[in-house]
Amino acid sequence: MRRPFIAGNWKLNKTIAEAEELIGALLPRVGAVEDVDVVICPPFLALQAAVDSTRGSAVQVYAQNMHEKDSGAFTGEVSAPMLFELGVYGAIVGHSERRQLFGETDEGVARRAAGALEAGLWVIACVGETEAEREAGETEEVLRRQAGVLEAHEQLVLAYEPVWAIGTGKTATPEQAQEAHAFLRGLIDVPILYGGSVKPDNAAELLAQPDVDGALVGGASLDVESFAAICKAAAQSF
Protein backbone atom coordinates (compact mmCIF):
# COMPACT_ATOMS: atom_id res chain seq x y z
CA MET A 1 0.00 0.00 0.00
CA ARG A 2 1.24 3.48 -0.89
CA ARG A 3 1.17 6.15 1.82
CA PRO A 4 -0.15 9.47 0.44
CA PHE A 5 2.05 12.53 0.70
CA ILE A 6 0.55 16.04 0.81
CA ALA A 7 2.87 19.06 0.79
CA GLY A 8 1.81 22.69 1.10
CA ASN A 9 4.08 25.20 -0.64
CA TRP A 10 3.42 28.60 0.96
CA LYS A 11 5.68 30.40 -1.54
CA LEU A 12 6.32 34.09 -0.58
CA ASN A 13 3.53 34.25 1.99
CA LYS A 14 3.21 34.46 5.79
CA THR A 15 5.30 36.39 8.28
CA ILE A 16 6.58 34.59 11.36
CA ALA A 17 3.51 35.56 13.38
CA GLU A 18 1.18 34.61 10.54
CA ALA A 19 2.94 31.26 10.12
CA GLU A 20 2.49 30.46 13.80
CA GLU A 21 -1.19 31.39 13.59
CA LEU A 22 -1.78 29.25 10.49
CA ILE A 23 0.00 26.24 11.98
CA GLY A 24 -1.91 26.62 15.22
CA ALA A 25 -5.17 26.43 13.30
CA LEU A 26 -3.97 23.66 10.99
CA LEU A 27 -2.59 21.12 13.45
CA PRO A 28 -5.93 20.18 15.07
CA ARG A 29 -7.42 19.62 11.61
CA VAL A 30 -4.68 17.52 10.00
CA GLY A 31 -3.86 15.74 13.25
CA ALA A 32 -7.09 13.81 12.86
CA VAL A 33 -6.09 12.61 9.36
CA GLU A 34 -4.36 9.25 9.64
CA ASP A 35 -2.01 7.49 7.22
CA VAL A 36 -1.06 10.66 5.31
CA ASP A 37 2.38 12.31 5.35
CA VAL A 38 1.73 16.05 5.71
CA VAL A 39 4.40 18.64 4.90
CA ILE A 40 4.41 22.44 5.00
CA CYS A 41 6.96 24.59 3.19
CA PRO A 42 7.10 28.12 4.69
CA PRO A 43 9.46 30.89 3.56
CA PHE A 44 12.97 30.83 5.03
CA LEU A 45 12.37 33.38 7.81
CA ALA A 46 9.40 31.40 9.14
CA LEU A 47 11.17 28.03 9.17
CA GLN A 48 12.32 28.22 12.80
CA ALA A 49 8.85 29.21 13.97
CA ALA A 50 7.35 26.41 11.90
CA VAL A 51 9.75 23.82 13.32
CA ASP A 52 8.98 24.98 16.85
CA SER A 53 5.23 25.10 16.25
CA THR A 54 5.05 21.61 14.75
CA ARG A 55 7.36 19.92 17.27
CA GLY A 56 5.67 16.80 18.64
CA SER A 57 3.21 16.64 15.76
CA ALA A 58 3.23 14.49 12.61
CA VAL A 59 3.55 17.55 10.36
CA GLN A 60 6.98 17.96 8.79
CA VAL A 61 8.63 21.20 7.72
CA TYR A 62 10.44 21.57 4.38
CA ALA A 63 12.27 24.56 2.90
CA GLN A 64 11.30 25.93 -0.50
CA ASN A 65 14.83 25.86 -1.90
CA MET A 66 18.50 25.48 -0.93
CA HIS A 67 22.00 25.83 -2.35
CA GLU A 68 23.96 22.85 -3.61
CA LYS A 69 27.10 23.67 -1.59
CA ASP A 70 27.49 23.23 2.16
CA SER A 71 29.23 26.60 2.55
CA GLY A 72 31.14 29.21 0.60
CA ALA A 73 30.94 32.62 -1.05
CA PHE A 74 27.28 32.39 -2.06
CA THR A 75 25.67 35.55 -0.71
CA GLY A 76 22.00 35.17 0.11
CA GLU A 77 21.96 31.37 -0.06
CA VAL A 78 21.12 28.70 2.54
CA SER A 79 22.74 25.27 2.68
CA ALA A 80 21.34 21.82 3.38
CA PRO A 81 23.40 21.32 6.59
CA MET A 82 22.05 24.65 7.88
CA LEU A 83 18.49 23.51 7.25
CA PHE A 84 19.13 20.10 8.77
CA GLU A 85 20.57 21.64 11.95
CA LEU A 86 17.51 23.90 12.19
CA GLY A 87 15.27 20.85 12.31
CA VAL A 88 13.93 21.17 8.79
CA TYR A 89 13.05 17.77 7.36
CA GLY A 90 13.46 18.38 3.64
CA ALA A 91 13.49 20.84 0.75
CA ILE A 92 11.81 21.55 -2.57
CA VAL A 93 14.22 21.88 -5.51
CA GLY A 94 13.54 22.88 -9.09
CA HIS A 95 10.11 24.44 -8.66
CA SER A 96 8.93 25.86 -11.98
CA GLU A 97 8.97 29.39 -10.56
CA ARG A 98 12.65 28.93 -9.67
CA ARG A 99 13.34 27.63 -13.17
CA GLN A 100 11.39 30.36 -14.97
CA LEU A 101 12.06 33.40 -12.78
CA PHE A 102 15.55 32.65 -11.50
CA GLY A 103 17.10 30.68 -14.34
CA GLU A 104 17.62 27.38 -12.54
CA THR A 105 18.70 24.51 -14.78
CA ASP A 106 18.16 20.76 -14.79
CA GLU A 107 21.79 20.20 -13.85
CA GLY A 108 21.59 22.69 -10.99
CA VAL A 109 18.46 21.02 -9.69
CA ALA A 110 20.24 17.67 -9.77
CA ARG A 111 23.18 19.08 -7.81
CA ARG A 112 20.91 20.60 -5.17
CA ALA A 113 18.97 17.37 -4.85
CA ALA A 114 22.19 15.41 -4.37
CA GLY A 115 23.46 17.91 -1.79
CA ALA A 116 20.23 17.77 0.19
CA LEU A 117 20.09 13.98 0.18
CA GLU A 118 23.74 13.75 1.25
CA ALA A 119 22.97 16.06 4.19
CA GLY A 120 20.13 13.79 5.27
CA LEU A 121 17.22 15.88 4.00
CA TRP A 122 14.25 14.61 2.02
CA VAL A 123 13.79 16.20 -1.40
CA ILE A 124 10.78 17.13 -3.52
CA ALA A 125 12.22 17.62 -7.02
CA CYS A 126 9.83 19.36 -9.40
CA VAL A 127 9.45 18.64 -13.11
CA GLY A 128 6.88 19.72 -15.67
CA GLU A 129 6.25 21.14 -19.13
CA THR A 130 5.03 24.58 -20.23
CA GLU A 131 1.83 25.03 -22.19
CA ALA A 132 3.81 25.63 -25.38
CA GLU A 133 5.77 22.42 -24.85
CA ARG A 134 2.58 20.41 -24.27
CA GLU A 135 0.92 21.87 -27.37
CA ALA A 136 4.05 21.00 -29.38
CA GLY A 137 3.85 17.37 -28.20
CA GLU A 138 7.09 17.71 -26.22
CA THR A 139 5.82 16.71 -22.77
CA GLU A 140 7.63 13.38 -22.61
CA GLU A 141 10.83 14.89 -24.01
CA VAL A 142 10.80 17.58 -21.32
CA LEU A 143 10.04 15.13 -18.51
CA ARG A 144 12.75 12.75 -19.73
CA ARG A 145 15.30 15.58 -19.72
CA GLN A 146 14.32 16.93 -16.29
CA ALA A 147 13.94 13.60 -14.49
CA GLY A 148 16.84 11.97 -16.30
CA VAL A 149 19.43 13.92 -14.34
CA LEU A 150 18.06 12.65 -11.01
CA GLU A 151 18.96 9.39 -9.32
CA ALA A 152 16.45 7.31 -7.38
CA HIS A 153 16.84 7.58 -3.61
CA GLU A 154 14.69 6.44 -0.70
CA GLN A 155 14.32 10.09 0.39
CA LEU A 156 13.59 11.51 -3.05
CA VAL A 157 10.08 12.45 -4.17
CA LEU A 158 9.14 13.86 -7.59
CA ALA A 159 6.44 16.46 -8.13
CA TYR A 160 4.91 16.64 -11.59
CA GLU A 161 3.72 20.22 -11.99
CA PRO A 162 2.55 21.17 -15.47
CA VAL A 163 3.64 24.81 -15.63
CA TRP A 164 0.46 25.79 -17.44
CA ALA A 165 -1.58 24.67 -14.40
CA ILE A 166 0.31 26.56 -11.68
CA GLY A 167 -1.51 29.62 -10.38
CA THR A 168 -3.68 29.73 -13.49
CA GLY A 169 -6.77 27.97 -12.21
CA LYS A 170 -6.22 25.34 -14.89
CA THR A 171 -5.71 21.76 -13.75
CA ALA A 172 -4.52 18.72 -15.64
CA THR A 173 -7.32 16.22 -16.08
CA PRO A 174 -6.94 13.06 -14.01
CA GLU A 175 -6.13 11.26 -17.26
CA GLN A 176 -3.41 13.77 -18.19
CA ALA A 177 -1.91 13.55 -14.69
CA GLN A 178 -1.95 9.76 -14.74
CA GLU A 179 -0.33 9.64 -18.17
CA ALA A 180 2.53 11.92 -17.09
CA HIS A 181 3.01 10.13 -13.76
CA ALA A 182 3.11 6.71 -15.41
CA PHE A 183 5.72 7.98 -17.87
CA LEU A 184 7.85 9.42 -15.06
CA ARG A 185 7.60 6.20 -13.05
CA GLY A 186 9.08 4.40 -16.02
CA LEU A 187 12.09 6.70 -15.76
CA ILE A 188 12.63 6.78 -12.00
CA ASP A 189 10.88 4.68 -9.37
CA VAL A 190 10.11 7.14 -6.58
CA PRO A 191 6.85 8.57 -5.19
CA ILE A 192 5.35 11.16 -7.54
CA LEU A 193 3.13 14.05 -6.44
CA TYR A 194 0.85 16.10 -8.67
CA GLY A 195 1.08 19.88 -8.41
CA GLY A 196 -0.97 22.44 -10.27
CA SER A 197 -4.07 24.19 -8.89
CA VAL A 198 -4.94 21.32 -6.54
CA LYS A 199 -8.11 22.16 -4.63
CA PRO A 200 -10.60 20.27 -2.44
CA ASP A 201 -12.99 19.84 -5.35
CA ASN A 202 -10.47 18.12 -7.64
CA ALA A 203 -8.12 16.45 -5.15
CA ALA A 204 -10.00 13.18 -4.71
CA GLU A 205 -10.20 12.44 -8.43
CA LEU A 206 -6.54 13.30 -9.03
CA LEU A 207 -5.34 11.30 -6.03
CA ALA A 208 -7.38 8.28 -7.08
CA GLN A 209 -5.15 7.78 -10.13
CA PRO A 210 -2.91 4.70 -9.77
CA ASP A 211 0.39 6.54 -10.26
CA VAL A 212 -0.43 9.73 -8.32
CA ASP A 213 1.09 9.37 -4.85
CA GLY A 214 0.03 12.71 -3.42
CA ALA A 215 -0.03 16.43 -4.13
CA LEU A 216 2.13 19.53 -3.98
CA VAL A 217 -0.43 22.18 -3.05
CA GLY A 218 0.07 25.89 -3.66
CA GLY A 219 -2.56 28.50 -2.87
CA ALA A 220 -4.95 26.08 -1.19
CA SER A 221 -2.29 25.28 1.43
CA LEU A 222 -2.71 28.80 2.84
CA ASP A 223 -6.33 28.10 3.75
CA VAL A 224 -6.79 25.79 6.72
CA GLU A 225 -10.11 24.33 5.61
CA SER A 226 -8.95 23.73 2.03
CA PHE A 227 -5.63 22.12 2.99
CA ALA A 228 -7.26 19.92 5.62
CA ALA A 229 -9.88 18.84 3.07
CA ILE A 230 -7.16 17.86 0.59
CA CYS A 231 -5.39 15.81 3.28
CA LYS A 232 -8.68 14.08 4.10
CA ALA A 233 -9.31 13.39 0.41
CA ALA A 234 -5.86 11.81 0.19
CA ALA A 235 -6.61 9.49 3.11
CA GLN A 236 -9.90 8.45 1.55
CA SER A 237 -8.51 8.00 -1.96
CA PHE A 238 -5.79 5.63 -0.79
Point out the catalytic residue in the list 68, 97, 104, 161. 161
Which one-letter amino acid corresponds to residue 211? D
Q: Known catalytic residue: 153?
A: no
- SS3 for 96-162 is HHHHHHHCCCHHHHHHHHHHHHHHCCEEEEEECCCHHHHHCCCHHHHHHHHHCCCCCCCCEEEEECC
Point out the catalytic residue in the list 68, 95, 97, 104. 95
Of 5, 32, 8, 3, nearest to 227 by C-alpha is 8
Taking 3-state DSSP, the helix, strand and coil percentages for the chain, each rounded to the nearest 5, stand at 45, 15, 35
Q: Known catalytic residue: 161?
A: yes
Catalytic machinery residues: 95, 161
